Amino acid sequence: MSEARESRPARPGLAAVLSGLVPGAGQWYGRRLRRGILLFTPTLILALLALGLWSRGRTRLIELVVQPSVLWAALAVNLLIVGWREFAVVDAFRITRNGSKTGWFPASILVVTIAAVAAPHVLLTAYGFEAIDSLETIFATDEVASPLFVEDAPPRAAPFAPGDTDLVVVADPALASVPKTPTPKSLRNLVFRRGIGDPDAIAAWPDIIDDPVEAMALLPPVDTADLDRITILLAGGDGGPGRGGMRTDSINVATLDLTTGRAALFGIPRNLVQVPLRSDYDQAFNELQQRITSWDERKHWTDSDGDGVPDQFVPCHCFPDQINAIYPFTRKWTDTYPREADPGMATLRDTVELLLGIHIDFYALVNMSGFVRVVDALGGVRTYVTGPVQTEVSPAREGEDWITVDIQPGWHRLNGHEALAYVRERKHTSDYVRMRRQRCMLKAVAASADPSTIVRRFTALSRAFKTSVRTDIPLDYLPTLVSQAATLDFGDIVTVGFTPPEYAPTANYRNQPIPDIAAIRAKVQEILNADEDTVFETGRDTECRI
């Protein structure tokens, strides 16, 4: 009986399936032991490599998958692996057939096995191409990206009549060309910074800003090894259906001390006015300042020399209107910021730098629809709601209905639209309460984006970011940023909102707050100079619960 079983011929279909599961198993089944061991050896090597990578932690895996060069290498290896696995399947089928004719059933099994083996590799290839495209679209490379959200309507223009109190945004073509920035401001240009950057690059900087087209491609990747702090401007745009142009209604600055691991989040009220500007264009908005000066003052103006400038007019050397309108005014300042991914965000970055008295390395801008997509891609965000939120807000995308929510105090997992309503509602509260919710939501989103969630939902997240986010964070720096962010305790990020009256004790005639620059800068320095044991009253248990 046992001899009959031993002499029974091997089944080609079964051999193909076995090698499809474990390369070499079908050869072993067909009594080709040496051949089976040879085909199984790569499986053992790959398993050991995977175990070694996994042992280095999930954060290290994220650091690798955000590098296009690594992803391209992985795609090449994936191609070799699928070729080797398909060869093992076909070879097992062939050697067990022994040259005899094969019926339709074993042949069908072979075809199904080949397709089943190829399927996950095809998905991995699609995943890899999606990841590479997203990374190179979102993050800064050697090429200058096009301005963000070019489909948005231009800023609305309207005459300013006596008694008007609404925000006025007037597109002035003369403002599109103001002096070029004399020094590199973004961290992606740290290669030019004295004491940190490359000496040849520093020496070449004057020539580069005169002719910036080709020179940047010849420079080495950004080196941030000597930095002790990373600071990022985070802005949320209010562009959407029925809204004329996108203003940055959410303005926050996140900063991370790389030595202590302490992080802070500074909130800038969207309605701050008369914020100082850089000296090379601090009079670019004189016409706007004249337009929004109160009618009680303007009606007494005279122009004795006929130059169009009132005799009584004194430039404020500032942006005279709300800070959230800086972006739509300056988004096309390509002469001023020729190498920025988004000139409007670069202008806002430099303005906020002056306001806070610190250097800002990067900026990132997300529009409303992008925020909804990101939260949904994360599977919702767990948020502690301190007070009831009952509101109706406009949709994030064309064709959607208005968003109506009724969120009671307590813990909730908010989807994208609920989270958007949560951070935008101000009908029943103030702008400053809304700012606090925005900062809390940023912390909640960051806490939800742990490495395992990013891996599981990478495709959805990459598509959400690719269509709705613009940043000048260098792609070369992204792995380091991932590693630094992984060390954060998201429940212990200091959050401060520079709200009136403490940080804006005075207001203009439209009751819009004017910042106290000295008070704001003093608070920023207090937080930045804190050591690891410093406890702030705006810390873990007061403003946000994560």
**Mean pLDDT score, 390-409:** 72
| 166 pLDDT higher than 50 | no
The alpha carbon of residue 123 and the mean position of all alpha carbons in its chain are separated, in whole angstroms, by 25
- Round the CA-based radius of gyration of the chain to a whole number and report it: 30
**Mean pLDDT score, 232-250:** 71
| 212 pLDDT higher than 50 | no
CA 121 to CA 137: how far, in whole Å?
A: 24
Query: Looking at 157-171, 409-423, 430-444, 518-532, which range is the least confident one?
Result: 157-171
> Tokens 């008295």 — which residue?
357
- The more confidently predicted of residues 439 and 491 is 439
- The more confidently predicted of residues 221 and 512 is 512
Torsions phi, psi for 275 (to 5 deg): -80, 135
Query: Looking at 79-88, 114-123, 263-272, 400-409, which range is the least confident one?
Result: 400-409
**Structure tokens given for 292:** 């929004």
E-strand spans in 378-505? 381-385, 389-393, 403-407, 410-414, 469-471, 494-497
Q: What is the mean pLDDT of the chain?
A: 75
The pLDDT of residue 26 is 92
Give exposure, 147-179, as e/b (b: 16+ Cβ within 10 Å): bbbeebeebeeeebeeeeeebbbbeeeebeebe
Q: Report long-range pairs for 391-394 (Cβ below 8 Å, ≥24 apart).
A: 391/421, 391/424, 391/425, 391/427, 391/428, 392/421, 393/420, 393/421, 393/424, 393/425, 394/240, 394/241, 394/242, 394/243
CB atoms within 10 A of CB 73: 13
CA 377 to CA 546: how far, in whole Å?
A: 19
Cα distances (Å, whole numbers) of residue 143 to 18, 220, 338, 474: 49, 14, 11, 11
CA 512 to CA 274: how far, in whole Å?
A: 10
| 191 pLDDT higher than 70 | no
Query: Looking at 16-30, 152-166, 176-190, 421-435, which range is the least confident one?
Result: 152-166
Q: Are 253 and 495 in contact (CB under 8 A)?
A: no
The pLDDT of residue 519 is 94
**Structure tokens given for 232:** 């990022």
pLDDT digits over 34-87, tens only? 999 999 999 999 988 888 888 777 677 777 777 888 889 999 999 999 999 999
| 174 pLDDT higher than 80 | no
Nearest 5°: the CA angle 487, 473, 260 is 30
**Structure tokens given for 63:** 């650091």
E-strand spans in 415-482? 469-471
What letter represents residue 507's amino acid?
Answer: A
Q: Are strands 362-366 and 229-237 parallel, antiparallel or unpaired?
A: parallel
Q: Are strands 469-471 and 275-276 parallel, antiparallel or unpaired?
A: unpaired
pLDDT digits over 447-461, tens only? 777 666 766 777 777
- The more confidently predicted of residues 284 and 63 is 284
Which residues touch 461 (CB under 8 Å, ≥6 apart)? 374, 377, 378, 449, 454
Q: What residues does 264 pair with on adjacent strands? A: 255, 494
Q: Which domains does the chain have, with CATH numbers?
A: 2-138 (no CATH), 216-282+317-528 (3.40.630.190), 283-314 (no CATH)
Query: Looking at 100-104, 371-375, 470-474, which range is the least confident one?
Result: 100-104
- The more confidently predicted of residues 90 and 298 is 90
Peptide bond into 501 cis (omega under 30): yes
The pLDDT of residue 529 is 85
| 209 pLDDT higher than 90 | no
Please report, rounded to a whole number, the percentage of residues in the chain having pLDDT higher than 90: 26
Q: What residues does 495 pair with on adjacent strands? A: 265
Q: Using the 8-state DSSP alphabet, how is residue 32 labeled? A: -
- The more confidently predicted of residues 532 and 61 is 61
pLDDT digits over 110-148, tens only? 999 999 999 999 988 988 888 888 788 777 765 544 444
**Structure tokens given for 545:** 């619960």
CB atoms within 10 A of CB 220: 11
The pLDDT of residue 397 is 63
The alpha carbon of residue 509 and the mean position of all alpha carbons in its chain are separated, in whole angstroms, by 37
> Tokens 């997300």 — which residue?
366
- The more confidently predicted of residues 176 and 513 is 513
The pLDDT of residue 533 is 66
CA 514 to CA 210: how far, in whole Å?
A: 37
Position 9 confidence tier, pLDDT thresholds 50, 70, 90: low
Cα distances (Å, whole numbers) of residue 338 to 203, 229, 235: 20, 26, 21
Question: Comparing C-alpha atoms, which of 137, 227, 23, 207 is closest to residue 468?
Answer: 137
Position 196 confidence tier, pLDDT thresholds 50, 70, 90: very low
**Mean pLDDT score, 207-236:** 54
**Mean pLDDT score, 364-385:** 81
pLDDT digits over 474-512, tens only? 888 887 777 777 666 666 678 888 988 999 999 999 999
| 287 pLDDT higher than 60 | yes
Q: Are 530 and 488 in contact (CB under 8 A)?
A: no
Position 24 confidence tier, pLDDT thresholds 50, 70, 90: very high
Reduced to 3 states (helix: H, G, I; strand: E, B; else coil), residue 330 is helix
What letter represents residue 104's amino acid?
Answer: W
Q: Are 195 and 202 in contact (CB under 8 A)?
A: no
CA 435 to CA 271: how far, in whole Å?
A: 11
- Give me the helices (H) in 162-237, please: 199-210, 212-215
Position 521 confidence tier, pLDDT thresholds 50, 70, 90: very high
CA atoms within 13 A on the CB side of 521: 10
**Mean pLDDT score, 281-298:** 90
Position 248 confidence tier, pLDDT thresholds 50, 70, 90: confident
Position 233 confidence tier, pLDDT thresholds 50, 70, 90: very high
